Each structure stands twice: as structure tokens, then as C-alpha cells.
Amino acid sequence: MEVLRIEGLTKVFGSGRLEVRALEDINLSVAAGDLVALLGPSGSGKTTLLLCTSLILEPTLGKIVFDGETIHQQNGWAGIDIRRIRREKMGFIFQSHNLIPFLTARQNVLFPLSLVDKKGEAAEARVMELLEYMEITERADYLPALLSGGEQQRVAIARALANNPRLILADEPTASLDTVRGKKVMELLKKIAKENQSAVIVVTHDVRMIEGFDYVYYLKDGHLNHEH
């Protein structure tokens, strides 16, 4: 089942002589269970595409259909509650983990559940299930500062999974990890895509990390090409 479809997405910054066409006529379709890599050099438009896909940045032109709903049509949002969609149906994993420093690992994973009014025993059980899935249960009551980089990223992935998202967007999730830990994180993302039937899009510049991905796309100067 198709989770995300992007048609003719274009993003222009500035106007006149200062106009920069960051993305040009991007077409992309991602189905449930797909693990997709977006590669490209710095400044190629990867982050801009991720921001448009995550409904943070509005495209200049183009259509975005997410989980069967038209979110953006040609030159404007379609009047859908974008914040609700991001809260309930999307998970985000960042390069720098972005864990809340004064909350324990368990509390960090609980946080997105509280945003959608999921509380009590069921929410606690979901958190422990996710920490177990990430093999980090024994660190549940540790603050982020006491966790290694790899452990922090596992907690961040558990947090991204809290609401059973249809789409997970990961921005350079292995950039701050060594190769071994980085590959472990990518293996976890593969496992999540297949077992949870989430669509997973990973932005990375590291070709070594994308072994076993279903689809690889390459962005250059705002144009998207399918690698294989």
C-alpha cells in the first residue's frame, strides 16, 4: 500500500536574481515496508526535500498525498490538520538524537504518546516494549548524558516508533556514530520497515550505510534520480 506520493514537487527560495530552485519537479512514491535512501552531496536539496516531506516546509508547487489524503495540491496546503498528521502518523530521527536532556530514556519515549493523550499503563507498556525492541531496557532510567551515542540513537528510534507511524523520516541518523554502530542503526531501520510495515526514508551521504535498502535515489542540484 502506498504511504507517500510526491508529484512535481518544486521548491523555490527568493525571487528575481536571488532565486534559488532548491528542488525541481520531484516525483517519488513510497509504499508500506519500503526502505528508501536519499543520497547526495551537501547542498543538493536533501534536507529541503525532507522538510517538505515532513510537512514542515511548504513546497512552491507540487502534490503531496500521504496515507490516502491529499496534503498539498499544486500551490497550497489542502486544509488538512498538518500538525495532527505529524504527531500521529510520522516519526522523526535526527542526526543529533534531540533527546530531552532532563528526561530519562523511558520518559523521552513516553513524550510523543502524551502529545496524543495516550497515558497510564498502556502507554508505559508501549514504552517498555519499544525499549526492549531496541535492546536498551536496562538503560530505561538513565538520562541521555549517561548513554553512549549508539544508545541515545536507539532511544531516539524508540521515540520515533511510539505512535506506530506510517512514515519514518531519518536525517543522517548515523552521522555521529562509528561505522559498526552506524550499520547497526541501519539494520534496525530495515527491521522496522519490514516488521512494522512503516515506510522509512533515510537521508544520508554515506554510501557504505545503505546496503540492503529497497530503493536508492540520488539528489543533485535539486533533481532526483533513481539509482537502482
Tell me if 3 is assigned to some domain: no
pLDDT the model gives residue 87:
85
Tell me if 63 is assigned to some domain: no
Terminal-residue alpha carbon distance, the chain = 21
Tell me if 131 is assigned to some domain: yes
Can you tell me the distance from the alpha carbon of 77 to that of 45, in angstroms, rounded to the nearest whole number?
21
Tell me if 13 is assigned to some domain: no
Write the pLDDT tens digit of every residue in 99-113.
Answer: 889 999 999 999 888
Tell me if 126 is assigned to some domain: yes
The DSSP symbol for 120 reads H
Tell me if 41 is assigned to some domain: yes
Please check the confidence at residue 227 and state whether its pLDDT lies above 70. Answer: no
Please check the confidence at residue 72 and state whether its pLDDT lies above 90. Answer: yes
Please check the confidence at residue 34 and state whether its pLDDT lies above 90. Answer: yes
Tell me if 25 is assigned to some domain: no
| Residue matched to cell numbers 525532507 | 50
Grid cell digits, residue 174? 548515523
For the chain, give the mean pLDDT. 88
Can you tell me the distance from the alpha carbon of 61 to that of 71, in angstroms, rounded to the nearest whole number?
12
Q: Which pTM does this prediction carry?
A: 0.87
Range of the domain at 39: 33-57+79-226
* Helix spans in 25-104 (H): 46-53, 82-89
Residue 130 belongs to domain with CATH number: 3.40.50.300
The tally of domains found in the chain comes to: 1
Grid cell digits, residue 194? 519490514
Helices (H) and strands (E) in the chain, counts: 6, 11
Tell me if 193 is assigned to some domain: yes
Residue 49 or 210, more confident: 49
The proportion of the chain whose per-residue pLDDT surpasses 70, expressed as a percent, equals 99
